[in-house]
């Protein structure tokens, strides 16, 4: 997770109805998506806004090349595996709970989640705070609103500023 994203999550974390769930990316290679999905679904059932992030671990971020070599994966394949696992976690979490919407940060994650939910595309309906596209997946098992964010440099999430 980028330092900017870490600052944005920290700004959200101060709110009493926000629960941050950190996931260690190494779980993608050895953990169960079911366990992580259950933690997320539990927070949602308790009425919390759930922010799911990868654990901010600088040693892991700087040791990616070594981890790729250990697993015999290219850097791209390593990232794709993590995205697919996070998408599986998301699909299982929304199957266990009923969040009102999804906010997906990172284009690769958004695409992986769309595929995991059986979507064939994304129809943009508008923008939140003039910068965050929202709309609906086309097809698939998720018909509620989806917001996406890829990049950005605002010091705090624009949705928070509304």
Q: How sure is the predictor about 47, in pLDDT bands with cuts at 50, 70 and 90?
A: very high
CA distances from 81 to 7, 21, 43, 138, 156 (A): 26, 20, 25, 24, 29
pLDDT in tens, 73-87: 999 999 999 999 999
Residue identified by tokens 């940060």 is 105
DSSP per residue, 81-149: HHHHHHHHHHHHHHHHS--S-EEEESHHHHHHHHHHTT--EEEEEEEETTTEEEEEEESSS--S-EEEE
Share of the chain above pLDDT 90, in %: 61
Per-residue confidence (pLDDT) for residue 161, from 0 to 100: 37
pLDDT at 54 over 90: no
Mean pLDDT of the chain: 87
Q: For 39-65, what is the mean pLDDT? A: 85
Q: How sure is the predictor about 117, in pLDDT bands with cuts at 50, 70 and 90?
A: very high
- 15 DSSP assignment: S
> Per the structure block, which two tokens stand in for 145?
């609103």
Per-residue confidence (pLDDT) for residue 92, from 0 to 100: 97
pLDDT at 18 over 90: yes
Which residue did the predictor score with more confidence, 2 or 135? Answer: 135
């Amino acid at each position: 997770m980028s330092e900017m994203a870490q600052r944005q999550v920290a700004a959200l974390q101060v709110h009493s109805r926000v629960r941050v769930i950190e996931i260690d990316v190494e779980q993608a290679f050895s953990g169960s998506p079911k366990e992580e999905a259950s933690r997320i679904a539990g927070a949602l059932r308790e009425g919390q806004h759930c922010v799911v992030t990868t654990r901010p671990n600088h040693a892991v971020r700087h040791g990616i090349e070594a981890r790729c070599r250990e697993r015999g994966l290219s850097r791209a394949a390593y990232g794709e595996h993590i995205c697919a696992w996070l998408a599986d976690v998301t699909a299982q979490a929304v199957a266990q709970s009923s969040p009102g919407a999804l906010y997906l940060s990172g284009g690769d994650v958004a695409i992986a989640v769309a595929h995991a939910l059986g979507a064939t595309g994304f129809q943009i309906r508008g923008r939140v705070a003039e910068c965050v596209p929202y709309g609906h997946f086309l097809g698939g098992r998720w018909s509620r609103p989806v917001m996406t964010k890829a990049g950005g440099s605002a010091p705090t999430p624009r949705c928070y500023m509304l």
